[in-house]
Chains A and B, each alone.
Chain A
Amino acid sequence: MKQRHLQLDHDKRLRHFLTIEGLKRDLLVEILDTAESFTGVSHQQVKKVPLLRGKTVVNLFFEASTRTRTTFELAAKRLSADVLNINVPASATNKGETLLDTLRNLEAMHCDMFIVRHQNSGAAHFIAEHCAPHISVLNAGDGRHAHPTQAMIDMFTIRRHKQEFHNLSVAIVGDIMHSRVARSQIHALSTLGVPDIRVIGPRTLIPANADTLGVHVYHDLSQGLQGVDVIIMLRLQRERMSSALLPSEHEYFRLYGLTKEKLALAKNNVIVMHPGPINRGVEMDSSVADGEHSVILQQVSHGISIRMAVMSMTMGPRGVRHPKHTQQSELKT
């Protein structure tokens, strides 16, 4: 419950974006609708809108990332914000102290938004709890916990192709155990009303309590893909695997790799997604990754619109409210 309060202001508007969990359906739909409007900006000659002019956005990355960091940076720049990229190498000791010190320093530079990626679950949440009240925090991935903007990108991509959520079967395939993306996706899909969410993978890569999230668990790919509308392939996160959970990548591909033959088990108009980066020949065959059902590159483009939407929604009014003015301004001037 505390997390919910932290993400929303007293008018129930988004103030931080840390996790999908606990957010209402209406708010998720508002994010998707706002992102839809931002897609128009890339058709402008000047691909910028002045919403966040004069604001400073900090990409605070404690863990390496290219795609997520660049799309956040591009999104901030298209909103006319100034962007600071800070890559903080992880230090094993004094993490709390280092984090708070970094925070205080950035606050002293009058920054307005922190986009945080961290190898520890709860890092963005911790920063949101401790930063100055005018600052918004967006979670760009924390440990195994959540990656809410990636999940919203995927929801946006699904909605563009399937229009509705209430009649879909969605399969998430692969390393569910280590995937913060999967966790956020499952929360988003169920909040948006998807009736059939399936997770497919080897026993070693699916958390034992997965069915408590309201998903159907499959260990056989062919069985799990029967009649699905959407297939989300996850990356094998070798860097997060501490023990031998897999016999070999070759063996994994044989059992859980997406090939044309396996794809044929799904609906005719199935879409194939992957949050990237793809390990070709491990999670899926190149012919599927580049095939007609693949919407993987669209996901990347949508990343900019979704991140623009979340940034602009969290950067609303701060501090003193002007109730009278608000009332007037909502009317057409």
Chain B
Amino acid sequence: MVLETPDILLASMASQLEQQLSKGRIENPAMVGIHTGGVWVATALHQRLALEDPLGTLDISFYRDDFSRIGMSPEVKPSQLPFNIDDRHIILVDDVLYTGRTVRAALNELFDYGRPASITLAVLIVRSGREIPICADVAGTELDLDSGQQIKLKGPQPLSLELVELTDG
């Protein structure tokens, strides 16, 4: 399988986003990245789209659905939304859309900050393996991977993609 470089995928995401925004007549959207990889992708997109408001970041650790199984993540970071999200059009950014559980958690967290006008989901990579009905509005690329494969974004400078084969254990 040939992986495109993150740069090419980001360029594609930026142009798709511009189209979507003009189609929806959305002006001045605000962007939120999900820690950690999603923040890297969002930082790059935020720059390309030259958005006015500073970038927001979410750590979804407090909203995970597997807390009672794995406990608290030792590396939780603060969420920071440096703007009021009420009635705003939000672009939610992550690196990989896999099971959909991270996005579910991020949506719940966002709504605890207010009631946005809309949320657009933009991800670098959409891969197979969805467990809940969530799909991306904008995707850099789509990959058909089996459950033994993991795609990882490494960063923050430079961004690169790595395909890992998980061994059973």
Q: Which positions in A face B, CB cutoff 8 Å?
A: 13, 30, 33-34, 36-41, 43-46, 48-51, 312-313, 315-318, 322, 324-327, 329-333
How many chain B residues touch A (CB < 8 A): the figure is 36
**CB pairs A–B below 8 angstroms (21 shown):** A33-B74, A34-B76, A37-B59, A39-B78, A40-B78, A40-B80, A41-B62, A44-B113, A45-B113, A46-B112, A50-B62, A50-B63, A51-B62, A51-B67, A312-B62, A316-B71, A316-B72, A317-B68, A317-B71, A325-B69, A331-B152
Tell me how far the C-beta of A301 lies from the nearest C-beta in chain B, rounded to whole angstroms.
Answer: 15
Tell me how far the C-beta of A14 lies from the nearest C-beta in chain B, rounded to whole angstroms.
Answer: 9
Distance A30 CA – B100 CA, assembled complex (angstroms): 28
Contact B69 A33 (CB under 8 A): no
Chain A residues with CB under 8 A of B100: 333
Chain B residues with CB under 8 A of A44: 112-113
Given contacts A40-B78, A51-B67, contact A313 B72 (CB under 8 A): yes
Tell me how far the C-beta of A328 lies from the nearest C-beta in chain B, rounded to whole angstroms.
Answer: 8
| A-B interface pairs (CB < 8 A), number | 83
Closest to B108 in A: A50
Contact B150 A312 (CB under 8 A): no
Q: Does B88 contact A (CB under 8 A)?
A: no
Contact B112 A49 (CB under 8 A): yes
Tell me how far the C-beta of A308 lies from the nearest C-beta in chain B, rounded to whole angstroms.
Answer: 9
Closest to B67 in A: A51
Chain B 89-112: CB-based contact to A (< 8 A → 1; otherwise 0): 000000110111110000011011
Distance A316 CA – B67 CA, assembled complex (angstroms): 7
Contact check: which of A34, A315, A327 meets B169 at CB < 8 Å?
Answer: A327
Chain B 110-127: CB-based contact to A (< 8 A → 1; otherwise 0): 011110000000000000
Tell me how far the C-beta of A314 lies from the nearest C-beta in chain B, rounded to whole angstroms.
Answer: 9
Contact check: which of B61, B79, B81, B95 meets A332 at CB < 8 Å?
Answer: B95
Q: Does B70 contact A (CB under 8 A)?
A: yes
Chain A residues with CB under 8 A of B75: 33
Q: Does B48 contact A (CB under 8 A)?
A: no
Contact B69 A317 (CB under 8 A): yes
Other A-B pairs beyond A40-B80, A43-B81, A325-B66, 19, CB < 8 Å:
A13-B71, A33-B74, A34-B76, A37-B76, A37-B77, A40-B78, A45-B113, A49-B63, A50-B63, A312-B62, A312-B67, A316-B68, A316-B71, A325-B69, A325-B70, A327-B169, A329-B70, A331-B152, A333-B100
Q: 5 tightest CB-CB pairs across the interface, nearest first?
A: A316-B71, A49-B62, A46-B112, A333-B99, A37-B76
Chain A residues with CB under 8 A of B112: 44-46, 48-49
Chain B residues with CB under 8 A of A41: 62
